Structure 1
Amino acid sequence: MLLRPYAAVIRGRLQWGLEFRLDDSGMIVEVGPHTGMPEPYVLTPAFVNAHSHLEYRTLMGQIPGGDYWTWIRQLTELKKSQTEAEVVASCDLAAAENRATGVHFIAEHSDRPFAGASLSRHGFEGPVFQELITFLEQASPEEKRQIVLDRAATQGAAVSPHAYHTVDESSLRWVLAQGGPLSIHVAETQAENDFTERGEGPLAAFYESFGFSRPPTGKSVAQSLLDLGFAGERVQFVHGCALSDTDISLIAGADVSLAHCPRSNIALGCPTARVRRWLDAGIRVGLGLDSAASSGPIDMFDEMRASLDLSRAIGEPITAEEVWWMATGGGYASIPSLPKVPYDLVPGAKMPLLRLSVEGAHETEDLLGLDPTAVSWIDGGDGA
């Protein structure tokens, strides 16, 4: 197959005048200058959703934003009213919308055990993380571990803790001992650091209201997890809004990746993630669409715009090229368990490819103004 777009996105940068020859397996075997008239589209690797909650799609617009802790309590209550059929329908709808916005790889967080089947039905690749929560559960931590193991087995998922403050320490150590890939919500709010450093703030008050306590570690939530052993390339931290410079340095040194979910963070009043500092530290960073219940419509272009705008608003700008890379090759590298292969338009690489219908694009930032209607898949390569 010979692809001759007028431009292509290579490591996030828009480049002109190149054509791509693929073998029968879809591998890029040659990249060279145009040998004929180009076609009116831009070629890019398919997008990577580095953090997702498919099961909350049908809750979009039902919970007011503005405050994370109010939002999460309302989400927990709404979940109780959902039937299995409703959750399955939510997963299928979100999967279809991820496909429509050009996503192929997803790192999915799943509470109820239905997302994995939806991802399979729609042809996605990527790990499913079956979330473990042991705080305020009817089952004991040991019983909850077995429940989550059983759920994970039904959808080929890896057991992973939801967050430091929702999982007891013995269960955190148990998850580490399982040896699988891990993805955990970390420092989405400053309250998590207040809780681990000093045993103060809304999380400590919430624990106390139920007669529980948890000794502070004297360190940030990120450092507390690193000390427990949540380190190495099998670990992904999600959100990281309230990471300090020390946290960022330690995360980089521990080879832990980060998932950035800007629209969700904006909606829930979270601190602004210091993505410029993450990238400068050499951390592998992916862009996550999170859940439609917090982020809104499933749209990777809108997510990229939000990331760029947030970085500029705090005076620590990232570039459009870096944002695109976070949504493609950088995002791929950030997801634990994916094969270590090139994810870019280079010889020897093999990946699903997108055709973007856009005329007159001069730089990557011009592409950020698109929406899912501009997306089509090369040779039906959507995996569906």
Structure 2
Amino acid sequence: MIIIENCAVATVDAAGTEYADGHLVLDEGRIVAVGPGHAGRYHRSVRRVDGTGCLATPGLVNTHHHLYQWATRGLAQQENLFGWLTTLYPVWAGLDAETVAATTAAGLGWLALSGCTTSTDHHYVHPAGAGDLMAAQVAAAGEVGLRFHPCRGSMDLGASRGGLPPDHVVETIDDALAGTADAIDRFHDPAADAMVRVAVAPCSPFSVSPELMTEAAKLARSAGVRLHTHLAETVEEEHYCRTEHGCTPVEYAEQLGWLGDDVWLAHGVHLDDAAVDRLAGTGTGVAHCPSSNARLGAGTARVRDLLDRGVPVGLGVDGPASQEAGQLGAELRQALYAARLRGGPAALTAREALALGTVGGARCLGRAAELGSLEVGKLADVALWRLDGLGHAGIDDPVAALVLGPPAPLELLLVGGRPVVERAELRTVDERDLVRRGRRAHRALLRKARR
């Protein structure tokens, strides 16, 4: 049993309950009490954590990422999405299981240090002979200790058939579907406290054929897993869909069976009113990636409009090759800033930004009953942020301090009650080893690309 007390608590429940001086009690991986004041006496072995100067929130939920891109950060710095992809596809063609294991561990370790307890990953590059990439990812996630939602991605529409990726990095439809089914069979866990859940995730309209999109949706629904893809990220994609398919990206997705309450879409930047209404009417979620959208000059998502219409919206870091900072905690502030640049100073509050990064993400992943808020019965995934340092001095509102202030160090990060970060240091893995492995993966991948 773990008791956290003497801290501010932002539960992010439906009522927005907060305590200026509160406590949490965690037992057997779940929250068993949350409230004001001290926790009281317990007659069992208890670890008590003094949270003086701290704010407790739900652990953050990352709804979109490409962890393999850790090995290609800092490249194609002035390109839009299509130019960035065509520059990097030949480099990613050299991926193998060792590189994917190293980048997954490094990326998840860094996410943990920014308050993330649950992360997706969208891996869609499967070069021939690369080895068991999904197994490498799942093992690395287990090593770091985060809840992991690997999305088995795929591409079958190479350049010779009008797609964007080169032919040598795409799969056949049969291979893509077989690899996806295998990932579900081996790794998906439907249990409420699951550490690994698999989603079906063909990459995008410009790299996947309609046939693969349609068959992948059928596979996902027959297996009872969620669906994920990129959609409406750039004006170039909008033009591609209108030229190739005679419709908008959202209309195209609907034609293929890719809208529904079991679907969440990455980005959703270029949406007209009809598209927003269709997402709302079908319960389709959106992974908002403000820093990546800014890095690539893709635009600013209509987050206020999406929220007002009831669309589930979570936050995503996106791949570290288009968002080199790679931190989820910082995306709270970026989401607030992006919304206000689009809609003015009242477009998004600090508490709404925190909700995007917690319960909003849990809704996108279909886990709002288990994650995303500090409520009795939910999983003990908790971030305890230290806000009593110089950088936050004088900001009396702890949620505003977290969202608007500088990155807050973590006093404690728990996943199912297990410490992953303590006093701003990883406890499950050696950070220095992650650095070494990440550098080695980066150098090896670039060497392959130069051959």
State the TM-score, normalizing by the size of structure 1. Answer: 0.87
Matched to 2:178, the amino acid is: Q
With over 3 angstroms needed to count, the CA separation of the structure-2 counterparts of 1:83 and 1:6, relative to structure 1, is closer
Q: 2:375 aligns with which of 338, 346, 362?
A: 346
Please tell me whether the aligned partners of residues 200 and 217 of structure 2 are also in contact (alpha carbons under 8 angstroms): no
- 1:25 corresponding residue in structure 2: 28
Q: Deviations over 1:306-337 (max 9, x none)?
A: 1111111122521111111111111111114x
Q: 2:77 aligns with which of 46, 64, 75?
A: 64
Q: Deviations over 1:90-125 (max 9, x none)?
A: 111111111111211112111342323222222222
With over 3 angstroms needed to count, the CA separation of the structure-2 counterparts of 1:274 and 1:375, relative to structure 1, is farther
Say whether residues 1:142 and 2:181 are aligned partners. Answer: no
- 2:207 corresponding residue in structure 1: 166
Q: Distance in 1 between matches of 2:108 and 2:116?
A: 9
- State the SS of the aligned residue for 1:355: strand
Q: Distance in 1 between matches of 2:328 and 2:310?
A: 23
Q: 1:382 aligns with which of 417, 420, 423?
A: 420
Q: Which runs of 5+ in 2 are unaligned?
A: 40-49, 127-132, 159-166, 189-197, 422-427, 429-451
Q: 1:287 aligns with which of 305, 308, 315?
A: 315
State the TM-score, normalizing by the size of structure 2. Answer: 0.75
- State the SS of the aligned residue for 1:314: helix
With over 3 angstroms needed to count, the CA separation of the structure-2 counterparts of 1:318 and 1:23, relative to structure 1, is closer
Q: Distance in 2 between matches of 1:86 and 1:143?
A: 22
With over 3 angstroms needed to count, the CA separation of the structure-2 counterparts of 1:329 and 1:195, relative to structure 1, is same
Matched to 1:87, the amino acid is: V
With over 3 angstroms needed to count, the CA separation of the structure-2 counterparts of 1:19 and 1:372, relative to structure 1, is closer
Q: Which runs of 5+ in 1 are unaligned?
A: 200-213
Q: How does 1:58-137 map onto structure 2 within 5 Å? A: 58-111=71-124, 112=126, 113=133, 114-136=136-158, 137=167
Cα displacement (A) at 1:219: 2.3
- 1:10 corresponding residue in structure 2: 11
Please tell me whether the aligned partners of residues 59 and 372 of structure 2 are also in contact (alpha carbons under 8 angstroms): no
- Between 221-230 and 240-249, report the one with greater CA deviation: 221-230
Q: Deviations over 1:284-318 (max 9, x none)?
A: 11100111110112222321221111111122521
Q: Deviations over 1:26-56 (max 9, x none)?
A: 4333333314997221111111111111111
- 1:210 corresponding residue in structure 2: none
- 1:195 corresponding residue in structure 2: 240
Cα displacement (A) at 1:152: 6.0
Q: 1:175 aligns with which of 216, 236, 258?
A: 216
Q: Distance in 2 between matches of 1:27 and 1:83?
A: 37
- 1:186 corresponding residue in structure 2: 231
- State the SS of the aligned residue for 1:327: helix
With over 3 angstroms needed to count, the CA separation of the structure-2 counterparts of 1:372 and 1:57, relative to structure 1, is farther
Matched to 1:174, the amino acid is: E
Please tell me whether the aligned partners of residues 202 and 213 of structure 2 are also in contact (alpha carbons under 8 angstroms): yes
Cα displacement (A) at 1:382: 2.9
Cα displacement (A) at 1:149: 4.3
Matched to 1:332, the amino acid is: A
Please tell me whether the aligned partners of residues 233 and 270 of structure 2 are also in contact (alpha carbons under 8 angstroms): yes
- Aligned CA RMSD, in angstroms, stands at 2.5
With over 3 angstroms needed to count, the CA separation of the structure-2 counterparts of 1:3 and 1:224, relative to structure 1, is same
- State the SS of the aligned residue for 1:328: helix
Please tell me whether the aligned partners of residues 383 and 410 of structure 2 are also in contact (alpha carbons under 8 angstroms): no
Q: Distance in 2 between matches of 1:296 and 1:307?
A: 16
Matched to 2:374, the amino acid is: L
- State the SS of the aligned residue for 1:17: strand
Q: Distance in 2 between matches of 1:2 and 1:83?
A: 43
- 2:64 corresponding residue in structure 1: 51
With over 3 angstroms needed to count, the CA separation of the structure-2 counterparts of 1:262 and 1:45, relative to structure 1, is same
